[in-house]
Chain A
Amino acid sequence: MTISIDSAMGIHAKALALRARRAELLASNLANADTPGFKAKDMDFRTVLQQHQDMEVRLTTTHPGHAASSTSSGSLQADVLYRIPNQPSMDGNSVDPHLEKAAFAENAVRYQTSLMLLDRKIRGLMTALRGE
């Protein structure tokens, strides 16, 4: 039996990286809560994670004439979406600080959840390695 560290970690390693990216986006929104004309941005976590998983299974190109599969070339930047504001403001800023704070807190908790699951996986592997 062979164990690939990558597959042993499962989805959690990717989820962790995406959570960190989302934290960055939400922190930017909160930082720009008073900037005129700033538009709040966020990502649809489910879709982005799905895309990340789809990237795993992609066609290898062995010839320069081969076309690259569409999922592998998808840029992550495009996944960032603008938030639709509940209340329009005079200065064109679409940040709702309460909404962003709630999203940031939720994201932090989910990050810790992924971290905990990853930790358990590592501990499981360590137990298997030690054979105690």
Chain B
Amino acid sequence: MSLTRVFDVAGSALSAESVRLNTVSSNLANAQTVSSTSAGAYRAREPVFASILANQSGGGDSVGVRVLGVVESSAVPTMEYRPDHPLADENGNVFLSNVNVMEQLADLISASRSYQTNVEVMSTSKQLLLRTLELGNR
């Protein structure tokens, strides 16, 4: 029955999108963190999505999603001159995280929309399956 595989597909997408929501919230939470070294500064994390091929998952036409891994952004952390900061280095500089808040917010909207879409797909398929079960039952 193909409709039951829709649950696997939409479920995989929900889990992938929730990883994305998780990384966005970590990035936003750490947007203001500072460090005394450039290497120690927080770097924005981003999940990489890849599709699970049908022959891999063992089901006809369905193509699910999985998170290949989480990569750190390679953008250079901004240096700020704050000699009074307890974490400042010998030159009086601190290193801010390289999180771009605007980018993260846009990502947040995109991820939550995709999540909603997949929830809709799941509930529609559930309705269809339940109606099919009632076939000729009245």
Residues of A at the B interface (CB closer than 8 Å) are 16-17, 20-21, 23-25, 27-28, 30-36, 38, 41, 77, 80, 97, 101, 104-105, 108, 111-112, 115, 118-119, 122-123, 126
Given the known interface contacts A23-B125, A24-B9, the answer about A101 and B62 at a Cβ–Cβ threshold of 8 Å is no
Given the known interface contacts A24-B2, A24-B3, A118-B135, the answer about A34 and B114 at a Cβ–Cβ threshold of 8 Å is yes
Residues of B within 8 A of A119 (CB): 135-136, 138
Q: How many A-B residue pairs have CB under 8 A?
A: 106
- Least CB distance from A34 to B in Å reads 6
A126 to B131, CA, bound (A): 19
**Contact of A104 with B61 in the complex, beta carbons under 8 Å:** no
- Which residue from chain B places its CB closest to the CB of A27 in the assembled complex? B6
Residues of B at the A interface (CB closer than 8 Å) are 1-3, 5-6, 9-10, 12-13, 16-17, 20, 48-51, 60-65, 110-111, 113-114, 117-118, 120-121, 124-125, 127-128, 131-132, 135-136, 138
- Least CB distance from B104 to A in Å reads 15
Partner of A30, one of B13, B50, B127, B131: B13
